[in-house]
């Protein structure tokens, strides 16, 4: 039996307010909290795409249905408030940490002639 995805998300009109106070509306995927069923997140740059025209037609039809539902106010996201410079720095740190772990793993593999011992050493990382 397939899970009813309509309980987890649907298309909704989202009201967004610019820094200048101007409002604009867009159709986005809105995701709901499992317990409260309240909107908790939404996409920022939805586009119509698909593998087939029939799939795209279905997507557009669902978007049209959302025009009859109540408008959802924009949901603030920690990611959208983060400056690009901070996000790049964070990713550079993550990459540096990953590089260190991969170097350690490479050293362990080189120093372990017996593949049977390798698993325990790798799991210890």
Residue pair 107/124 in contact by the 8 Å Cβ criterion: no
Distance in angstroms (rounded) separating the CA atoms of residues 102 and 108: 10
Q: Is the pLDDT at 50 greater than 90, yes or no?
A: no
Tell me the whole-structure pTM to 2 decimals: 0.51
Give 34's DSSP letter.
T
Residues spanned by the domain of 35:
5-80
The total number of structural domains that make up the chain = 2
Output the pLDDT for position 116.
59
Whether 57 and 104 map to the same domain: the answer is: no
Q: Is the pLDDT at 1 greater than 50, yes or no?
A: no
Whether 10 and 52 map to the same domain: the answer is: yes
Residue pair 102/82 in contact by the 8 Å Cβ criterion: no
Q: Please state the φ and ψ torsions of residue 63, each to the nearest 5 degrees.
A: -65, -40
More confident residue, 123 or 15: 15
Whether 110 and 64 map to the same domain: the answer is: no
Whether 74 and 108 map to the same domain: the answer is: no
Distance in angstroms (rounded) separating the CA atoms of residues 69 and 117: 60
Whether 32 and 70 map to the same domain: the answer is: yes
């Amino acid at each position: 039996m397939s899970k009813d995805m309509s309980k987890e998300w649907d298309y909704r009109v989202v009201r967004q307010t610019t820094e200048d106070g101007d409002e604009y509306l867009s159709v986005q995927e809105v995701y709901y909290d499992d317990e409260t069923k309240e909107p908790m997140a939404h996409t920022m740059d939805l586009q119509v795409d698909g593998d087939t025209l029939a799939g795209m037609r279905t997507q557009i039809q669902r978007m049209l249905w959302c025009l009859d539902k109540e408008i959802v106010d924009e949901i603030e996201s920690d990611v959208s408030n983060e400056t690009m410079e901070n996000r790049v720095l964070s990713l550079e740190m993550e990459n540096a940490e990953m590089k260190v772990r991969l170097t350690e793993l490479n050293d362990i593999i080189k120093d372990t002639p017996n593949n049977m011992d390798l698993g325990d050493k790798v799991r210890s990382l």
